[in-house]
Amino acid sequence: MKFGILGSGMVATTIGAKLIELGHEVMLGTRSPDKLRDWAAQVGGKAQIGSFEAAARHGDWLVNATSGSGALEALKLAGEANLNGKILIDISNPLDFSQGMPPTLFVCNTDSLGEQIQRTYPQAKVVKTFNTLTAALMVDPQSLSEGEHTLFICGDDPDAKAQVIEFLSSEMGWRDVIDLGDISSARATEMLLPLWIRLYMKFGTPRVQFKIVR
């Protein structure tokens, strides 16, 4: 399958490398292609790199792995026509680092970044997931020695969500995926970040995860 990944940071490169390993055609989108040169060499020259617009045009499925503060700007550069009708997996978090650590949320409670993206691009099929765990665990959940842990997912389009859940299960090994409902559940999963960041600070590792026991 063709994936367009918007982003050049840890999430984009980790997911990009995994999708290439799985045999998919991947293009990463960035404003500065040069900064991905070393990474592209590491993945054996199999990654395509382009603008946000080129990556969005390339992908049948899209991944938003841009910073929360830059997400809407990046999607604007990607171009609405390249988003329409496509699954857009949104991993971004509305983190405001302007006052230092820990960051605050620049939208919360009655709205979320996931909803802002869905409202701005009503014809994109926004599926929010992966935003509550570190990149390495997104693509290799079984590597956490504590056993099964939980991935949250939400979005307005049931068919898009079902396709993403199937993909995450069959290609990335996710077993405990909880569908929280429509995209307004992004308020809840984005508001987990202040807790996740405190756990990261306490344990000194990003390899901490939520596990829902029922």
Ligand X SMILES: NC(=O)c1ccc[n+]([C@@H]2O[C@H](COP(=O)([O-])OP(=O)(O)OC[C@H]3O[C@@H](n4cnc5c(N)ncnc54)[C@H](OP(=O)(O)O)[C@@H]3O)[C@@H](O)[C@H]2O)c1
Residues at the contact surface with ligand X, assessed by CB under 6 A: 7-12, 30-32, 65-68, 70, 73-74, 91-93, 95, 131, 134-135
Pairing of strands 150-155, 95-96: unpaired
Q: Is the dihedral of CA 31, 34, 38, 43 positive or negative?
A: positive
Could you give the CA distance from residue 27 to residue 48 in angstroms, rounded to a whole number? 4
Among residues 125, 118, 135, 137, the alpha carbon closest in space to that of 164 is found at 125
For ligand X, which is the closer residue by CB, 73 or 140?
73
Of 142 and 159, nearer to ligand X (C-beta) is 142
To ligand X, the closest distance from the beta carbon of 72 in angstroms equals 8
Helix H or strand E segment including 13: helix 10-21
Taking the least distance from each CB to ligand X, the nearer of 74 and 214 is 74
Name the minimum Å distance from CB 102 to ligand X. Answer: 13
Cβ 207 to ligand X, closest distance in Å? Answer: 10
Cβ count near 8 (within 10 Å)? 22
Hey, how many other C-beta atoms are within 10 angstroms of the C-beta on 56?
A: 28
73 residue type, one letter: E
Which residue, among 156, 106, 103, 148, has the nearest Cα to 128 in the 3D structure? 156
Least distance in Å: CB of 5 to ligand X?
9
Query: Cβ 142 to ligand X, closest distance in Å?
Result: 17
**For ligand X, the closer CB: 125 or 196:** 196
Full DSSP string of 142-189 = GGSTT---EEEEEES-HHHHHHHHHHHHHHH---EEEE--SGGGHHHH
Q: Which is nearer to ligand X, 34 or 214 (CB)?
A: 34
Q: Which CB, 93 or 118, lies closer to ligand X?
A: 93
| Closest approach of ligand X to the CB of residue 201, in Å | 15
For tokens 């996710």, name the residue. Answer: 174
**Residue 122: what residue type?**
P
